[in-house]
A and B are shown apart, each in its own frame.
Chain A
Amino acid sequence: MELCDLTAHEITEIIRSKQASAVEVLQSCLKRIAAVDGKPGSLDSAAESEEDRKKVHAFISVLEEDALQDAQKVDRMIQNGEDPGLLAGVPFSAKDVYCVEGTYTTAASKILANFKSPYTATTIQRLKEKGAILVGKVNLDEFTYGSSNESSAFKPIPRNPWNTAYVTGGSSGGSAASVAAGEVPLSLGTDTAGSIRQPAAFCGTVGCKPTYGRVSRYGIVAFASSLDCPGPLSRDVRDAALMLQAIAGADRYDSTAASLPVPNYLAALEDGVRGKRIGLSTDYFQISYPDPESGELLQKPVPDEILAAVQHAADILRDAGAEIIENVPMPNTRYAIPAFFVISRVEAASNLHRYDGVKYGYRGGKPGDDLLSMYRKTRNEGFGMQPKLRVLMGMYVSGAQYAEQYYNRALKVRAMIRRDFERIFDHKGSYRLDALLTPTTTTPAFQIGAMGGDSVLMQYADQFTVSANHAGIPGISLPAGFSNGLPIGIQLLGPDFSEASLLQIGRAFEKGSAAEPWRTMKPEVLK
């Protein structure tokens, strides 16, 4: 096994015990990237060649020199008997919405392609302080808008390491792909409607969306400020716990970062699920989709293999001592996507207002244009379709005459979605659940181009993940098997700040399914 295929916790052990150096580990990752990643995403990409179509293209920029310096620093500390920190020598990638001083932070958009950040995000700062090595910035849907990474302005877009004709999922597509392809053991992504969990499921990795406010958002290009959550993608549950441990906690630069002490996520990780109450809801076994004509919401059952994966997981957890409670009602789940359409667009449109060509990024137009022309050309030329859609919709549904009908109504629906979760997690309620077990996605990864520009269909891919964003609760996606060679993920959702418990349950599932044959499968790009 290559060093780059090890888990983060294995890497820290090896480095601390001096069996390998941080530099050696980094070089293993760089070698893997060189072997499987192909051309990094960029603005000036020619058409894709046959060769390109077999590669992963997770990265936009590989920061080799800086990473080497960081790795050397870790090695020096080990030599001197100092502790480099919790993630000593662990290489990681970061979704290119994380500002890192001196690096380009593009948000996969032309409008920020030349933006060199003068400051560093809190989460990145914390990871570096704990000895982790930033290897590079990975690709994403433009401004995190999307569920397939296809909307990136930086081409070629990432491809699913399990079958490169398929999408990675999104928006943290590059994150998931870089972990799945063994390029890095850890990646820092963001999740606004499922953007960590869904690509994790599509690429067969673990993906964790912490509780809103558990991790600081300072330094992350914002999509929807009340929904965005930074979080880890990893190979196993312990690694997710490690990364979360490193980044969680209050931040004086983020007023919404909860000033709640961070528990030890590793302490009870192996304690098992005896006595845990885990629910199943039929509302998560139905796929909602809008009738293309009328827009009316219709329903159909999830594919068999996905249902089977969830039921199998329930069996494993039951065998491990958990109590499984069926038919837990979550009646407002089906309204999560329409509500998300409204709320996220209002916030996104506002968050995109700053991209005006005045003080950073792309400036369009020509000399002689007046200010208004400059604004319009900058934004038209700088933004791709997805940002444009969000700006237009956001402005429409928050306009004075529509705000009550759309925005305020959506906020109320969101409160109802939150209440569904409060009911099932209430200690004194009828269900008293520790977690809800659901599929992560409605289908496994789809083919590149399959959505055909249908923005509604694309958004509905997030229907099982987005309610957690509305409610603010944490969720974790775990690899649970395959369907036609493509990974399937299961999801655990829990009460506010219950990450330790979710990780514990996830670990129990991992242990219970450790011997299953699908765990030995390798991605196509590594064969």
Chain B
Amino acid sequence: MSEEISPEMFKQLAALAALDLDQEQADYLRHELNQQLKAIHELAAIPLDDDLRITPHGIVYDQAISPTPREDVWQPCADPQKILNQAPQVEDQYIIVPDIPHEKLD
């Protein structure tokens, strides 16, 4: 059975996933992904019933157990500074990141 994820495709995936992988890691990961896909293909053979309802959760959220939506009230965070203090680089209350690469166009 041929590999589903080729090195080419893997490279694209890694870029999409924002991962800068070295070759050794890339090889291991690609191998594992393809092994997993073989297992996943088991799903392909299962006959699916037409009347199956897909729900986002396993349990059924009926009216009785669903919480009511939140009232529109302002409740400020006790200390937003604590959140900002977690950022790797902050200046004048702004979080600093490097610039996005730009393509110079005409």
Contact = CB atoms under 8 A, between A and B. Distances in A.
B13 A496 contact: no
Contacts of B105: none
Contacts of B60: 496
A271 to B, nearest CB: 25
A377 B60 CA distance: 41
Interface in A344-361: 349, 356-361
B13 A388 contact: no
Given A393-B33, A415-B52, A456-B35, A372 B21 contact: no
A276 interface: no
Nearest to A496: B59
B98 A370 contact: yes
Interface string B57-76: 11111001111101000000
Given A252-B67, A395-B17, A472-B59, A413 B43 contact: yes
Interface residues of A, number: 85
Given A293-B1, A359-B87, 5 more contacts: A118-B82, A226-B57, A257-B67, A397-B40, A456-B38
9 contacts: A116-B86, A256-B61, A370-B101, A372-B101, A391-B19, A392-B19, A392-B33, A471-B59, A472-B58
Contacts of A383: 19
Nearest to A355: B18
B54 to A, nearest CB: 5
Contact of A385 (B29, B42, B64): B29
Contacts of A86: none
A294 B41 CA distance: 10
A377 B44 CA distance: 36
Nearest to A469: B58
B93 interface: no
B103 to A, nearest CB: 12
Nearest to A467: B58
Task: Give the residue among B13, B40, B83, B85 with the most A Cβ atoms within 10 A.
Answer: B40
A260 B52 CA distance: 26
Contacts of A325: none
Contacts of A335: 42-43, 46
Task: Give the residue among B5, B46, B53, B54 with the most A Cβ atoms within 10 A.
Answer: B46
Contacts of A473: 58-59
Given A411-B54, A456-B35, A115 B86 contact: yes
B32 interface: yes
Interface in A215-267: 226-227, 250, 252, 255-260
Contact of B18 (A332, A375, A385, A412): A375
A453 interface: yes
Interface stretch (A61-69, A186-194, A200-208, A402-410): A402-410
B36 A455 contact: yes
B42 A295 contact: yes
A357 B88 contact: yes
Contacts of A195: none
A301 B32 CA distance: 26
Interface of A: 115-116, 118, 211-213, 226-227, 250, 252, 255-260, 290, 292-297, 332, 334-335, 337-339, 341-342, 349, 356-361, 363, 365, 368-377, 379-380, 383, 385, 388-389, 391-393, 395-397, 405-406, 408-416, 418, 453-456, 459, 469-473, 496
B39 A415 contact: no
B57 A338 contact: no
A290 B46 CA distance: 16
Task: Give the residue among A371, A391, A392, A454 with the most B Cβ atoms within 10 A.
Answer: A392
B20 A338 contact: no
B43 A342 contact: yes
Given A211-B59, A360-B87, A469-B58, A295 B38 contact: yes
A470 B57 CA distance: 8
Contacts of A116: 86
Contacts of A349: 17
Contacts of B43: 335, 338-339, 342, 406, 409-410, 413
A212 B58 contact: yes
A416 B42 contact: no
Given A356-B18, A371-B98, A376-B18, A295 B35 contact: yes
Contacts of A337: 39
Contact of A213 (B36, B57, B68): B57
Contacts of A363: 88-89
Contacts of A258: 59, 61, 65-67
A460 to B, nearest CB: 8
Contact of B17 (A341, A342, A357, A391): A391
Given A256-B57, A359-B95, A363-B89, A388 B29 contact: yes
A117 to B, nearest CB: 9
Given A338-B43, A456-B36, A388 B21 contact: yes
A456 B58 contact: no
Given A371-B98, A389-B29, A409-B44, A259 B66 contact: yes
Contacts of B32: 389, 453-456
A412 to B, nearest CB: 5
B66 to A, nearest CB: 7
A377 B57 CA distance: 34
Nearest to B65: A258
Contacts of A250: 67
Contact of A118 (B16, B79, B99): B79
B17 A374 contact: no
Nearest to B35: A456
A227 B58 CA distance: 8
B87 A358 contact: yes
